[in-house]
Structure 1
């Protein structure tokens, strides 16, 4: 019963959003509140797709989130492999410093980051997301490091005997075995980028920005008042790609979260 209650509590905001997306504006302002739409309509979804180029901005978001997710997964996997299987001076200290950065709110580095990108003429381009992806993420590096630490040393020793170097060992043996963590990393990193509002609003112009920014600013009437039912419809469609990705990779996601912290 407690799990059912927790599930209902967590899903209730999305349920309210979905019901609002099917309401005409008059029912949203009705008193008392109509929890269930009395006259369901699909007009909100039509307006959400046509008031601006919804699919075009969705394409921008998919491009940014897809590139970022792939690059940050590969970079984090390589860094995690180094921390797990390679020896070097100060490795534990560096790993501790890396983990400590997870306690630093990203918002405090946003303005300095913007100034650096502005001086490098990278504002209004997608290059910042490429650079962020190539740097990896502390939490994902931690997941890969934990997973690679638990892999049998015999695999690595057999590969070395066969003449494999560290790069080949990583690509041919360790990375293919880490599918659960790869799925976890892809879901998390895609969600981070797909749901990000601040960085696209700060770095991108209106024609190159992402869907999250456009949904927040694009659904207004001629008086500048927000069209709340249309916003709800746009937000419901906005959630779909993340849900689809999770449904595809959910088995690996659950396994990756469960196994990456064993040691």
Structure 2
């Protein structure tokens, strides 16, 4: 399964970069968030591949969900897809947008890939094994190396959202006394912790499950964890939530092996 995820992420990333270089119009969804041809074409590639290879496993994908297309029953396992995480970065010609594919089983992000096609960074994870992949200009996997989240030692290195920072996040970072703050878009924040380049990612702002599942899977495979503010592992497949929409996440803290959780 992980091999198919990697293949599809590379194919989708190639299409994302075609649109990035060619340019495209920016539309607005009902929630006013941006969407482009790259989002739609990437999602088509991923969904076609997953549905052909794994027809029994339902798919939840950002653009389909925005159009109201969601499987009525997710069962014990389902795929979560964000075909272009960091659309704002894409539109603003920044490099840290990503393609994200994850398998969720019994509420846990179990397998995931995160591909940043502009920078060439590629991360994959399955239970007990997380890797950073080197990608050629022809979108081929050249090599792999194991990665592992580190035990955070104060002062911590913190990753924060470039486009969605909040006063609560800034207050949390001040309380940590962090020595380094890395501002980056998209699910790469999870992957920087997984690869021991940072220690903690606090998110006191809006996210959806497709935003986080793939990066969270990589982080957990590397020995880290994402927890809600009450210390529980962030769960997936959340539906019929009182006062919130399906698949919306609460605030959370992602961290390395011994990083802070609250």
TM-score by length of 2: 0.24
User: Which structure would you say has the larger RCO, counting Cα contacts within 8 Å and 6 or more residues apart?
Assistant: 1
Larger radius of gyration: 1
TM-score by length of 1: 0.24
Bigger proportion of residues as strand: 2
Bigger proportion of residues as helix: 1
